[in-house]
Structure 1
Amino acid sequence: MPPVYAADSAPSRIGWELPPFYCPFNASLIHPKAEELEARAVEWIDRFGLYPDPTERAWGLATRGADFTSRIIPYGDVEPMVLFAEWNYWAFALDDWQDAQDAGPARASAAAVADEGIRLFRSLEAPGSALLPPGPFTDALADLVQRTRALLTPYQLRRFGEGVRDWVLGATWQTANTERDVMPSLNDFCAMRMSVNGTRFTLTWCETANGAELPPDVLYAEPVQALTDAAGFVVSCDNDLFSYNKEDHQEPWEQNLVNVLVRERGCTPREAVRHAVALRDQVLALVVRLGDKLARGANAPLRRYVEMLGEWIAGDVAYHALAPRYASPRNRNPLPVADASYDLVWADAPSSARTAPPPVPSIAWWWAAERA
């Protein structure tokens, strides 16, 4: 069924039908043990009492964190996927708490976000530091940390810690902009969007579950980093499009690609969607070309890494289209609607045929990596 919203709710600035999505990867993949992953993750949520009442629990489960995991990692090992699904539910709960602070009179400050973030990743690096207040949220985090440290190798754990730091950095930057009533420029936004979206947080688990771990001299080579960042940007753009209607009640306006383009181009949100999709498609076309270039003559781990990024992009689109969190948003519904979804139309080609880099200096190096 199409997206659901109350009849007396505020009209959408961009409408409820998204433009056709270009996705040259298979968006129908899902892990064969998706139901098991969901059941185990929900049991974990309830065991720790992560949500304080049935309404919050309903909205928490509407994030469908296990479905997200099962779609972006359709071939992964189950145990790291279960743990990642639980991290997703925990992170979604944190994100929703921050959204509530941003929308209310006691808006969270950048200093508060930075302080909590430091306590979070220090708790990951040094368990038992007693840096967080007691309660279900902290108890659930302690369990995640203990099991994460037992499962990941030292290198994987270091990568995960870096991902958490990067995520906190992005969240702090975004909150500082809100605090100052600043809508970032397109150049600044593109430089930071992957951090705000937790790209490196997610990719540690994709790499671990897929067995797609690369040695540092390959992973951190400029072409591979360009491909990784570009894929993360596409996923972030898609999140901005699907999330727009659930966040359009916030004042000041939410920092997402659509609203950044409204400011940059002096256009309406509906017009900005077209510009956002064109930029998103232009970057995705680069991901395809650069991925094909890297895969030619590559060894099996690098080829698997390139495939993994395509699965991440495709699975993320499919997840967002089906999750009640987005298709029956909380700012327009008292409870999530299980069958709500975005009825996507798939495009056969990118909406932009441009192969040169866009006039955005902070990401132009992705195209330079393609030419190298």
Structure 2
Amino acid sequence: MASELIVPPLYSPIAPAIHPRHTEIDAGTTAWAEYFCIGSRELRDRLVKHDIGTFSARILPDGREEVVLLLSDFVLWLFGVDDGYCEEGEVGRLPGELAGVLHRLTRVAQNPQTSMLDDDPLAAGLRDLRARVDRYGTADQAARWVDALREYFFSVVWEAGHRRAGSVPGLNDYTLMRLYDGATSVVLPMLEIGHGYELQPHERSSHAVRAAGEMASFVITWDNDVLSDHKERHAPGYHLNVLRVLQNDLGLTAEEALDLAIAQRDRVMCLFMRLSKHLSRVGSPQLRQYVASLAHFIRAAQDWGISSVRYTTPDNPANIPTGFTDIPTDDSPEPLEIPAISWWWDLLPEATSPAMPESRNGITWRDRKQRWSRVG
């Protein structure tokens, strides 16, 4: 049964860090949520207990305090949209209506002065967020933040289609959708804003830098799916995560799906660490800071995932770990056979790719590849 799943410690080679003002940041976000009345009373009461300020303080441990607070408010706002509209609201099962709501919010983000959704608390909060993005970031960063928000909105409408039909996508489609519907990409511009720099266009638009951001999103969302599975399976209504996708797509048991999901995220984590090392060596100081922030983002999500009451669910405790391991279950340098992301493994120069040992813990890579040949 799902309640019997025990999540082992996940592989994390990244050191934890946190902004020294995390307590004040968390309190500030609570006040912000109350001022703008984000979500229903019940939802808001839940969200302000989830240590979202602490999560943001871990993402930007050395960032400007005003931007860490901006990020914290924005993350809570995103949960107001995701939990309030998509997961729990009736409109979350109506893709057409959801698309209309989110298009209106996109317009508010693009042009806050637009007379639209004037009495909507989420729109009011979004206007405040946009004003602060403009204050602390550049015009280009604000534009990229809006573009990323649009990508997130587009992906949750896709998810709403599955929710309405009660369907489960295949692994490749789910992987592509999850790179965006986890709202990780909308955080990426904040990593620059938080440290007061702007990546050079030729670096930001390179395949390798874009892939590093997507790898971070993959690890964060796979971890979230693994750590939140207990909460989602015990909640009423439709749920969708990688464990359900793997079970449905491959006919696996819940335990087998858990093992495979962890192996997938471990392999991507190892690739991320190799690519990050390469980019830090060849990139500008700004790129080195960006890559370091991606790593902080991954570890922040991990620390938050094992400690926040959002996932530990004290009323019905989840069997999730309280720490991490420094040994991956799968460190193969071969790509996962997921077409949406398999190109990531083509980006590292051969000299930076590790030699593949014949065996690890008595299992040859040939055996491992055959075992997971259905999915990579």
In the TM superposition, structure 1's runs of 4+ consecutive aligned residues that sit over 6 Å from their partners are none
* Partner of residue 42, structure 1: 30
**Once the 2 structures are TM-superposed, how far is the Cα of residue 117 of structure 1 from its aligned partner?**
1.4
Unaligned runs of 5+ in 1: 1-11
Could you say what secondary structure the match of 2:187 adopts? Answer: helix
Aligned residues with identical type, % of pairs: 29
Q: 1:194 aligns with which of 174, 179, 182?
A: 179
Distance 1:84 1:359 in 2: 34
* Partner of residue 14, structure 2: 25
**Once the 2 structures are TM-superposed, how far is the Cα of residue 23 of structure 1 from its aligned partner?**
0.6
Closer, same or farther: CA 341–131 of 1 in aligned 2, 3 Å? farther
Distance 1:52 1:237 in 2: 28
What TM-score comes out, normalization by structure 2 length?
0.86
* Partner of residue 6, structure 1: none
Could you say what secondary structure the match of 2:6 adopts? Answer: coil
Q: Residue type of the partner of 1:308?
A: S
Q: 1:283 aligns with which of 268, 271, 281?
A: 268
**Once the 2 structures are TM-superposed, how far is the Cα of residue 14 of structure 1 from its aligned partner?**
5.3
Equivalent residues, number: 349
* Partner of residue 80, structure 2: 93
**Once the 2 structures are TM-superposed, how far is the Cα of residue 61 of structure 1 from its aligned partner?**
1.0
* Partner of residue 62, structure 1: 49
Distance 1:189 1:353 in 2: 23
Q: What are the residue-to-residue correspondences of 1:148-297 with 2, within 5 Å? A: 148-211=133-196, 213-249=198-234, 253-297=238-282
Unaligned runs of 5+ in 2: 351-376
* Partner of residue 299, structure 2: 314
Distance 2:120 2:203 in 1: 42
- Answer yes or no: is the 8 Å Cα contact 2:56–2:71 preserved in 1: yes
Q: Residue type of the partner of 1:148?
A: V
Distance 2:320 2:329 in 1: 19
- Answer yes or no: is the 8 Å Cα contact 2:5–2:255 preserved in 1: no
Q: 2:58 aligns with which of 49, 71, 79?
A: 71
Distance 1:145 1:213 in 2: 18
Q: CA RMSD in A?
A: 2.2
- Answer yes or no: is the 8 Å Cα contact 1:184–1:260 preserved in 2: yes
Q: Residue type of the partner of 2:252?
A: C
Distance 1:137 1:341 in 2: 34
Cα deviations across residues 232-268 of structure 1 (Å, max 9, x unaligned)? 1101111111221221146775221111111122012
Confirm or deny that 1:348 pairs with 2:326.
Answer: yes
Higher RCO (CA-CA < 8 Å; seq separation 6+): 1
What TM-score comes out, normalization by structure 1 length?
0.87
**Once the 2 structures are TM-superposed, how far is the Cα of residue 364 of structure 1 from its aligned partner?**
0.8
Distance 2:276 2:134 in 1: 32
Cα deviations across residues 301-358 of structure 1 (Å, max 9, x unaligned)? 11111111111111110011111111117xx66xxx9xx9944342222101321001
